[in-house]
């Protein structure tokens, strides 16, 4: 069911990529928290008033700004790129290069291989967002300890972003399991998540394009509901269920499909 040897090899092969994206995300988060200034942001809000950018800026509270910047752009696109690259490399790229044939020539079962790769991808996201949460809390204590806000809301934002990436990674992993060629895996495993990101962003920039966000998985990560004590647990649950189901389908597909070995 799980191979420690394969997990260690996968961890070693992908550690540099994971480390780079985790550091970049943490730096972005820390810097945005450190430079937050209510007065400056209030002035910016007045400047973009009655323009499409006003829809993106939204609330000028501490968590409001974070939700409309980091948790809508940098914090989404950076792990999204990591997920796309990693999911493809774990299965489809290895089949494409022929290294999967070598791996499956060992006594290790195909089901064990694909489960181990799925476990690595999910655990790498857990580690990434755990570090991001720690950096966020430490940065708030170091730079914004005079701001009155609930630190739990910041942690819930990180949980919601993790669940979004968990569901998104399941899409990329599914197509990595379906296709034997990297170009096909990336066409769908990258194309669909990137389309979701752009659709949701378009809906925020222009109210006339709001309909696009309703066909985006990213809409389930409702930052406004989190910072305004709204209802978000149903969306969180849906993201978790989508991730579990698509990972299960991907594993099943890879176990049963013909491979060019």
Domain parsing of the chain, residue ranges? 4-256
Structure tokens at 17: 């990529």
The answer on pLDDT for 91 being more than 60 is yes
**Which residue bears the tokens 């494409």?**
96
Structure tokens at 156: 């819930």
The answer on pLDDT for 129 being more than 90 is yes
Beta carbons within 8 Å of 167's beta carbon, 6+ residues apart: 217, 220, 239, 240, 242, 243, 246
Give the span between the Cα atoms of 101 and 258, in whole angstroms: 12
Q: Name the percent of the chain lying above pLDDT 70.
A: 90
- The pTM assigned to this predicted structure is 0.91
**pLDDT 10s digits, 211-261:** 787 889 999 999 989 988 889 999 999 999 999 999 999 999 999 887 776
CA 203, 42, 48, 78 torsion: positive or negative?
negative
Say how many residues make up the chain: 261
Q: How many CB atoms lie within 10 A of CB 48?
A: 13
CA 223, 227, 231, 232 torsion: positive or negative?
positive
């Amino acid at each position: 069911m799980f191979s420690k040897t394969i997990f260690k090899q996968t961890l070693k092969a992908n550690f540099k990529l994971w480390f780079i994206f985790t550091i970049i995300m943490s730096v972005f988060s820390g810097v945005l928290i450190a430079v937050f200034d209510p007065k400056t942001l209030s002035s910016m809000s007045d400047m973009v008033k009655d323009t499409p950018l006003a829809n993106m800026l939204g609330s000028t509270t501490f968590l409001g700004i974070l939700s409309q910047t980091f948790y809508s752009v940098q914090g989404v696109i950076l792990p999204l790129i990591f997920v796309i690259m990693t999911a493809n490399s774990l299965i489809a790229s290895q089949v494409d290069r022929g290294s999967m044939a070598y791996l499956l020539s060992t006594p290790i079962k195909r089901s064990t291989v694909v489960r181990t790769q799925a476990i690595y991808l999910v655990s790498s996201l857990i580690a990434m967002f755990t570090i991001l949460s720690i950096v966020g809390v430490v940065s708030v204590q170091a730079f914004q300890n005079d701001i009155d806000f609930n630190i739990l809301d910041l942690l819930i934002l990180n949980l919601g972003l993790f669940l979004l990436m968990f569901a998104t990674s399941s899409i990329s992993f599914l197509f990595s399991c379906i296709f034997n060629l990297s170009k096909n895996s990336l066409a769908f495993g990258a194309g669909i998540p990137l389309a979701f990101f752009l659709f949701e962003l378009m809906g925020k920039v222009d109210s006339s394009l709001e309909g696009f966000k309703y066909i985006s998985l990213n809409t389930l990560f409702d930052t406004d509901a989190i910072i305004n004590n709204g209802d978000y647990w149903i969306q969180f649950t849906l993201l978790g269920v989508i991730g579990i189901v698509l990972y299960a389908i991907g594993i099943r597909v890879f176990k049963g499909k013909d491979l060019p070995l």
